Structure 1
Amino acid sequence: MAADQQAPSILGFPHRPEWGAAAHRKALAGHLRRCRDHARIGTRQAARCIDTSESTLSRMETGLAALKPPDVKRLLDEYGVRDPEERTRIALLVREAAQPDAWQPYAHAAPPTLRPLLAMEPAARRIISYEPQLVPGWLQTAEYARIVIRAGHPTMPAGEVEDRIRLRMQRIAMLRRQTDPPTLLAVMDSEVFQREVGSPGVMHRQIEHLLKLLEELPYRLRLHIAPLSVGAAGAIGHPVVHLRFFADDYLPDMVYLEQYESALYREKPSETERYQAVLNNLVGVANPIEQTATLLQQALTEWRKRCR
């Protein structure tokens, strides 16, 4: 009886289609690994149970391989998971995990290095973003995004550029949803509003867009502007995104570190906590959020003068 009481449970992870397939897949994958550990069954025996290799089982247990309903059922049988409620919830999560990820309608345009972030951000409870050079992708206007994408990919076909723009534009939808929307805490260097992207008109409209978003999403979008005086605290040098999820017990924090043509992801608690501390420090030394609208209005005035 004691062993049954200690058995891992998935009932604390809800069925939330708006969180996306990747979140359900990762939560379920981790749960299957915990069930195997609880049953004291090795990877070789578990892999043999579903006629696959240990490497494929490992990918299943990390959310990198598809979770097929017959395989999951056989694994649950092998692990001694009998509770009908548990098995019903697992079956529901397996179906959700098989749905397309957020980036898949734009598969040919979504950079492979960005796909894990795109797939997991809809499930986030809180997103902290630091951007030293540009307006973060979630908050860009289409014309600003077009210029940024074209600058980084001058030979990219026009159709692919437009698909990337559409993908970028739909990311803000998660902040507008009615059920469990994440909070986006974005920190930008003040230089972002001094650097001309495209033309003064493009910058003017981009800053107007930010002001409108702050009015539309007052509790879901929190924007800090970091002055140059923050010194070493702002010398990170590349964009950083920290994701914390609604279901903390099932989904570990994720950190995305953008490079010029690649990206790094971190999920070990020791690493994600370190980046969270760095970002929290940056938020602490940036201008207070109450000053953001005023600073944006000042930048808007300067770009309006250049438009004449």
Structure 2
Amino acid sequence: MPAGGRPTVRSRRLGAALRRYRQAAKLDQPQAAEVIASSQTRISRIESGHVSARVIDVRLLLDAYGVRDLEARARLEALAKGSNRRGWWLEHAAHLRADYLDHIALEDDATYIREWQPVLFPGLLQTASYAEASITAGPNCLDPDRVAHLVKVRQGRQAKIEPGQTTYTVILWEPVIIHPLVSPEIHREQLASVAGVAKRRNVTVQVLPLAAGVLAGATSAFSSFSFDSAPTVEAVTMENLRGTSVLEDPEDLSAYANAFDQLRSAALAPEASARLIRGALRNIKEE
């Protein structure tokens, strides 16, 4: 069973893929159960993510479903191997919500990450000071020990966008850059950090200008994730007052992929965005 007795995002992704391949092969669950000498109940629990499939079961099922794509097979075998893998973030699990753990697991597996943020700098870009300021300013009263763990986790997540890691694209609304929600000192440090990270070959930072108008309010902040060599959106997360929602329905994924494309088309080019960030940094220094 996945760690904690609940489906993990990895086991859900694996189960959903196996279900799609079974249905495409026009086999029912009892027939799939015969392939791995098991029960229909186990197949059902594998497909729902409540049970972790063994690598040998995945191989046998993919053979039966006629899946010959070596890349697809390797990806699903990797999910089977990693469905119960303990990530570095689990040492902080006592201080993290289960839905936040899901977000980090998606982030950790992703080959492409795309984010839209109209209010704050996203966690993957936050300095420690900015992270602490944004966490403590939230509606929840958190004790200092938990705040320290949350800041440490945000810092740990940033290894994912270091050079040579995942391809990361973020679109920020212009007020995030020019209207500080934290102290001028913290905002200046944050802008300088973003300007440096934006120079990485695997990172693209774009700013949606105020002139874009109502487009900025068309959707709240979200992150999208791809897990293959192609940037096809396979999961989306959104934060809300009560936690993080994970979307995996194909229609939802298509809608958010289209929304991001619209935002990116209306945003300033990376070079112009970098100039705007540098200009905002100079203005703060002059003040």
* TM-score greater than 0.5 by the shorter chain: yes
The equivalent residue for 1:33 is: 19
Shift of 1:61: 1.3
TM-score by length of 2: 0.79
5 Å matches for 1:41-120? Answer: 41-42=28-29, 46=33, 50=38, 54=41, 57-67=43-53, 72=57, 76=60, 94-101=80-87, 103-120=89-106
Structure 1 residue 209: Cα displacement: 0.6
Seen in structure 2, the aligned counterparts of structure 1 residues 177 and 194 have a Cα distance that, compared at 3 Å, is closer
The aligned residue for residue 18 of structure 1 is: none
Letter in 2 for 1:221: V
Aligned-residue Cα RMSD (Å) equals 3.5
Would you say 1:193 and 2:177 are equivalent positions? yes
**Preserved CA contact (<8 Å) 1:103 1:110:** no
- Superposed, 1:219-258 pairs within 5 Å as 219-246=201-228, 253-258=234-239
Distance in 2 (alpha carbons) for counterparts of 1:44 and 1:103: 39
Sequence identity percentage: 21
Moved more, 257-266 or 156-165: 257-266
Give the letter for the 2:207 counterpart.
I
Alignment-derived partner of residue 249 in structure 2: 268
Larger radius of gyration: 1
Per-residue Cα deviation, 1:13-43 (whole angstroms, up to 9, x for no partner): xxxxxxxxx6764554345435755483435
Q: 5+ residue gaps in structure 2?
A: 1-7
Which aligned segments of 4 or more residues in structure 1 are displaced greater than 6 angstroms? 88-92
Deviation at 1:248, TM superposition (A): 6.0
Q: Secondary structure at the match of 2:98?
A: coil
Match of 1:142 in 2: 128
CA pair 80-208 structure 1, distance change in 2 beyond 3 A: closer
Deviation at 1:233, TM superposition (A): 1.4
Distance 1:35 1:189, change over 3 A: closer
SS of 2:277 mapped into structure 1: helix
For the residue of structure 2 that corresponds to 1:108, the secondary structure is helix
| CA distance 1:49–1:92, shift in 2 (3 Å) | same
Tell me the secondary structure at the aligned position of residue 204 of structure 2.
Answer: strand
Q: 1:279 aligns with which of 248, 252, 260?
A: 260
Task: Kindly indicate whether the alpha-carbon contact (under 8 Å) linking 1:67 and 1:98 is maintained by their aligned counterparts in 2.
Answer: no
Residue aligning to 1:128: 114
- Note the C-alpha offset of 1:244: 2.1
Long gaps (5+) in structure 1:
1-21
* Equivalent pair of 1:39/1:80 in contact (CA under 8 Å): no
Instruction: Find the counterpart in structure 2 of residue 10 from structure 1.
Output: none
Q: Which of 203, 206, 209 pairs up with 2:190?
A: 206
From the superposition, tell whether residues 31 and 265 of structure 1 become closer, same or farther in structure 2 (CA, over 3 Å).
closer
Aligned-partner residue type, residue 241 of structure 1: S
Q: Deviations over 1:222-262 (max 9, x none)?
A: 1111111101211135211121221569x961111222223
What amino acid maps onto 1:171 in structure 2? R
Whether the 8 Å contact between 1:208 and 1:300 is mirrored in structure 2 is: yes
Counterpart AA for 1:60: I
Are 1:254 and 1:267, in contact at CA under 8 Å, matched by a contact in 2?
A: yes
Q: Which moved more, 1:169-178 or 1:219-228?
A: 169-178
The partner residue of 1:302 within 280, 283, 286 is: 283
Using the alignment, how far apart are the partners of 1:222 and 1:105 within structure 2? 30
